[in-house]
Amino acid sequence: MRKTFQLQVEGKHPDRHLEAIKHEIRKYIKRERRRDLPEGSDFWDFDCKFGAAEESAEVVHLSALTGLIDGVVKEGGPQFYVEVVAKAAKRAPRAPGEAAAGASEFEED
């Protein structure tokens, strides 16, 4: 999904329009996660970019998108650009010491 969203659309309530935009982004992410994974992959990862325009978009984490959108709305920006591209990824195994350190927290003495 590579799209520039207009925030001020005539004839639409700004709050309802904002919720519709967020819903469209979430719907895209859910749809991509339902796709079949290629052989050797564990999960769908997302490369995300966000900015006022396509040229000024910066790489961001997927979980930060909603906060960034809310920030643009608070500043009164007229539009924003979102790019969310799905890619298949494989989880890296945990280091042996990492798993043992987390388990010792819950052990009883």
**Running DSSP on this structure, what letter comes out for residue 54?**
G
Question: What is the pLDDT averaged over residues 2-20?
Answer: 95
Strand, coil or helix: what is 46? strand
Q: What is the pTM of this model?
A: 0.81
User: Which residues fall within 8 angstroms of residue 2, CB to CB, at 6 or more apart?
Assistant: 54, 81, 82, 83, 85
Question: What is the pLDDT averaged over residues 35-58?
Answer: 95
Question: What is the pLDDT averaged over residues 41-51?
Answer: 95
C-alpha count within 13 angstroms, C-beta hemisphere, residue 15: 0
Please check the confidence at residue 53 and state whether its pLDDT lies above 90. yes
State the pLDDT at residue 66.
Answer: 95
Mean of the per-residue pLDDT values for the chain? Answer: 90
**pLDDT tens by residue, 54-95:** 999 999 999 999 999 999 999 999 999 999 999 999 998 888
State the pLDDT at residue 109.
Answer: 45
Q: What percentage of the chain has pLDDT greater than the value 90?
A: 83
Residue with tokens 């909603």: 66
Q: Which long-range contacts (CB under 8 A, 24 or more apart) does 7-12 make?
A: 7/72, 7/73, 7/77, 7/78, 7/79, 7/80, 8/78
